């Protein structure tokens, strides 16, 4: 049975465990003893600055899913991680569509002129691609679903203008990661965003009514913003989204 190591057991990492453990031998890591106790696996490890992110058993694996948020010494952490990986180990790096600029129009993976070259996430993508041949980069849209409810944290506030959303449901993120592992994809760069892009106002209004919080107000009715395409994922891998429309994520 192939071995999969999950580097970082946050909202996505923890959700991967029940889905992957049916088909793969799993290992997982977290930064602290407190978080370690929440991981429902025997093979679980603390990896942080104190041990230079090293534990020999964690790196005896076929696949490493990098699922930590881009905070603090993020790039330095990834560099440390790569030092311990064998060349044949598959990396799945969870990146973000935040690397794209605030432009209008439809953006694809090859929209090089529409990326923020100063973005920490983009610098990390390029470093990993350059230094590890077997790398899959998944650029995740805004992570939603379950307790992450669009409009909840802007309830009662007034925003400048409306915008198209580029959300992805957690169930689809988990499903797509499993697809990459199942198919033994060697390397690729993919946008992971729900194919439909309703505007914030429609979603926020619906959720305010459904969950009983105040509406978010908008100064202008004009709808701005980019729409990030997931066509490559659908066409190349024949992926059918579990949740196509962010209006129906909840």
- Answer yes or no: is pLDDT of 194 > 90: yes
- Rounded CA gap, 93 and 57, in Å? 20
> What local confidence, expressed as pLDDT, does residue 242 receive?
98
The overall average pLDDT reported for the chain is 96
- Give the largest CA-CA distance in the chain: 56
Instruction: Give the confidence band of 211 by pLDDT, cuts at 50, 70, 90.
Output: very high
C-beta separation of 31 from 72 below 8 A? no
Give the model's pLDDT for residue 221: 85
What integer is the mean pLDDT of 65-89?
Answer: 96
What's the pLDDT score for residue 1?
A: 94
Place 111 in a pLDDT band, splitting at 50, 70 and 90: confident
In angstroms, the Cα distances linking 87 to 37, 38, 56 are 31, 31, 15
Binned at pLDDT 50, 70 and 90, residue 112 comes out as confident
| φ, ψ dihedrals at 38, nearest 5° | -90, -5
Supply the pLDDT for residue 220.
87
φ/ψ of residue 131, rounded to 5: -105, -5
| Residue keyed to tokens 């990030």 | 228
Question: Which residues, other chains included, contact 175 with Cβ-Cβ below 8 Å and sequence gap of 6+?
Answer: 19, 239, 242
The full set of domains in the chain, from first to last, is 3-147+168-193+226-243 (3.40.50.720)
- Residues 235 and 248: their CA atoms lie apart, in Å, by 23
> Any bridge partners for residue 78, and if so which?
none
The string of pLDDT tens digits covering residues 144-193 is 999 999 999 999 999 999 999 999 999 999 999 999 999 999 999 999 99
Confidence tier at 133 by pLDDT (50, 70, 90): very high
Confidence tier at 212 by pLDDT (50, 70, 90): very high
Helices (H) and strands (E) in the chain, counts: 7, 13
């Amino acid at each position: 049975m192939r071995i999969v190591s999950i580097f970082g057991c946050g909202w996505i990492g923890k959700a991967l465990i029940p889905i992957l453990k049916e088909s793969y031998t799993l290992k997982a890591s977290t930064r602290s003893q407190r978080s370690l106790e929440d991981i429902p696996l025997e093979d679980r490890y603390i990896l942080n600055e104190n041990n230079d992110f090293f534990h020999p058993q964690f790196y005896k694996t076929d696949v490493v899913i990098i699922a930590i948020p881009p905070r603090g010494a993020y790039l330095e952490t990834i560099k440390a991680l790569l030092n311990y990986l064998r060349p044949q180990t598959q990396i799945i790096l969870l990146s973000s569509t935040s690397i794209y600029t605030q432009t209008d129009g439809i953006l694809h993976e090859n929209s090089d002129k529409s990326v923020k070259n100063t973005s920490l996430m983009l610098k990390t993508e390029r470093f990993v691609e350059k230094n590890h041949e077997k790398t899959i980069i998944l650029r995740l849209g805004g992570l939603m679903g379950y307790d992450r409810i669009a409009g909840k944290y802007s309830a009662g506030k007034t925003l400048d203008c409306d915008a198209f959303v580029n959300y992805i449901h957690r169930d689809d993120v988990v499903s797509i990661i499993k697809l990459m592992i199942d198919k033994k994809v060697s390397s690729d760069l993919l946008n992971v965003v729900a194919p439909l892009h309703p505007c914030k106002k429609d979603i926020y209004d619906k959720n305010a009514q459904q969950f009983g919080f105040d509406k978010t107000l908008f100064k202008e009715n004009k709808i701005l913003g980019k729409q990030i395409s997931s066509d490559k994922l659908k066409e190349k891998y024949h992926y059918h989204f579990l949740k196509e429309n962010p209006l129906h994520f909840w």
